[in-house]
Structure 1
Amino acid sequence: MGTYIVRRLFIAVPVFFGITVLSFLIMNLAPGNPVDMLINPNIPKELLELKRERLGLNDPLYAQYANWLSGVLQGDLGYSFSSYAPVSRLIGERIGPTLLLAAASLLFGLLIAIPVGVISAVKRNSKLDYFLTGITFLGISIPPFFLGLGLIYVAGIQLKWLPTGGMTTLGGDGGAGDVLLHMILPVTVVGAAIAGKKVRYVRASVLEVLGQDYLRTARAKGLRELAVTNKHALRNALIPVIAVVGAEIPLLLGGSIVIEQVFQWPGIGQLTMEAILSRDYPILMGLNLIAACVVLLTNLLTDVLYAAADPRITYG
Structure 2
Amino acid sequence: MTKYILMRSFQVLPVLLGVTFLVFLSLYLLPGDVTLNLLGLAANEDSIARLRAELGLDRPFSVQFGIWLGRALQGDLGVSHVMRTPVTAVVLEKTGNSLILMGAGLAITVVGAALLGPLSAVRKDRATDHTVKTLTFLLASMPAYWLGLVLIVAFSITLPWLPASGMYDFITPGGLPDLTAHLFLPALTTAATSLAIVTRVTRAAMVEALARSHVTAARSRGVRGFRLLYGHGVRAILPTFVNICGLQIGYLFGSSIFTEVIFSWPGIGQQLYTSIIARDGPMVQGCVLAVALVFVLGNLLADILIRWLDVHRD
TM range (shorter): over 0.9
The residue correspondences of 1:111-260 to structure 2 (distance < 5 A) are: 111-260=111-260
CA shift in 2, pair 1:295/1:41, >3 Å = closer
Structure 1 gap segments, 5+ residues each: none
CA shift in 2, pair 1:196/1:3, >3 Å = same
Name the aligned partner's letter for residue 264 of structure 1.
Answer: S
CA shift in 2, pair 1:48/1:174, >3 Å = farther
**Displacement after TM superposition at 1:113 (Å):** 1.5
Work out whether residues 155 and 162 of structure 1, in 8 Å CA contact, stay in contact via their aligned partners in 2. yes
Partner of 1:98: 98
Report the Cα distance in structure 1 between the residues aligned to 2:287 and 2:50, rounded to whole angstroms: 27
CA shift in 2, pair 1:30/1:143, >3 Å = same
Work out whether residues 80 and 87 of structure 2, in 8 Å CA contact, stay in contact via their aligned partners in 1. yes
Residue by residue, what CA displacement relative to the aligned partner does 1:168-217 show, whole Å, maximum 9, x if unpaired? 11211341111111111111222233222221111000001111111122
Report the Cα distance in structure 2 between the residues aligned to 1:294 and 1:156, rounded to whole angstroms: 31
Report the Cα distance in structure 1 between the residues aligned to 2:15 and 2:116, rounded to whole angstroms: 38
**Displacement after TM superposition at 1:22 (Å):** 1.9
TM-score (norm 1): 0.94
**Displacement after TM superposition at 1:284 (Å):** 1.3
Work out whether residues 109 and 194 of structure 2, in 8 Å CA contact, stay in contact via their aligned partners in 1. yes
Name the stretch that deviates more: 76-85 or 187-196.
187-196
Name the stretch that deviates more: 205-214 or 230-239.
230-239
Matched pairs, number: 313
Name the stretch that deviates more: 188-197 or 263-272.
188-197
Residue by residue, what CA displacement relative to the aligned partner does 1:210-229 show, whole Å, maximum 9, x if unpaired? 11111122223332232111
**Displacement after TM superposition at 1:31 (Å):** 1.8
Partner of 2:37: 37
Residue by residue, what CA displacement relative to the aligned partner does 1:20-51 show, whole Å, maximum 9, x if unpaired? 22221122112223213135343221101110
CA shift in 2, pair 1:13/1:151, >3 Å = closer
The residue correspondences of 1:68-107 to structure 2 (distance < 5 A) are: 68-107=68-107
Name the stretch that deviates more: 5-14 or 23-32.
5-14
Name the aligned partner's letter for residue 159 of structure 2.
Answer: L
Report the Cα distance in structure 2 between the residues aligned to 1:299 and 1:175, rounded to whole angstroms: 32
**Displacement after TM superposition at 1:105 (Å):** 0.9
**Displacement after TM superposition at 1:133 (Å):** 1.2
Report the Cα distance in structure 2 between the residues aligned to 1:214 and 1:269, rounded to whole angstroms: 46
4+ residue segments displaced more than 6 Å: none
Work out whether residues 251 and 295 of structure 2, in 8 Å CA contact, stay in contact via their aligned partners in 1. no
Report the Cα distance in structure 2 between the residues aligned to 1:269 and 1:250, rounded to whole angstroms: 13
Partner of 2:307: 307
Determine helix, strand or coil for the equivalent of 2:283: helix
Work out whether residues 219 and 225 of structure 1, in 8 Å CA contact, stay in contact via their aligned partners in 2. no
Name the aligned partner's letter for residue 233 of structure 1.
Answer: G
Residue by residue, what CA displacement relative to the aligned partner does 1:153-181 show, whole Å, maximum 9, x if unpaired? 12111221111111111211341111111
Determine helix, strand or coil for the equivalent of 1:31: coil
Work out whether residues 205 and 238 of structure 1, in 8 Å CA contact, stay in contact via their aligned partners in 2. no
Partner of 1:21: 21
**Displacement after TM superposition at 1:7 (Å):** 1.8
Report the Cα distance in structure 2 between the residues aligned to 1:157 and 1:198, rounded to whole angstroms: 31
**Displacement after TM superposition at 1:250 (Å):** 1.3
Name the stretch that deviates more: 20-29 or 216-225.
216-225
CA shift in 2, pair 1:30/1:108, >3 Å = same
**Displacement after TM superposition at 1:291 (Å):** 2.4
Structure 2 gap segments, 5+ residues each: none
Work out whether residues 168 and 179 of structure 2, in 8 Å CA contact, stay in contact via their aligned partners in 1. yes
Name the aligned partner's letter for residue 58 of structure 1.
Answer: D
Report the Cα distance in structure 1 between the residues aligned to 2:9 and 2:254, rounded to whole angstroms: 23
Name the aligned partner's letter for residue 288 of structure 1.
Answer: V
Indicate the percent of aligned positions where both proteins have the same amino acid. 35
Report the Cα distance in structure 2 between the residues aligned to 1:245 and 1:38, rounded to whole angstroms: 42
CA shift in 2, pair 1:189/1:292, >3 Å = closer
Work out whether residues 38 and 82 of structure 2, in 8 Å CA contact, stay in contact via their aligned partners in 1. no
Report the Cα distance in structure 1 between the residues aligned to 2:25 and 2:213, rounded to whole angstroms: 54
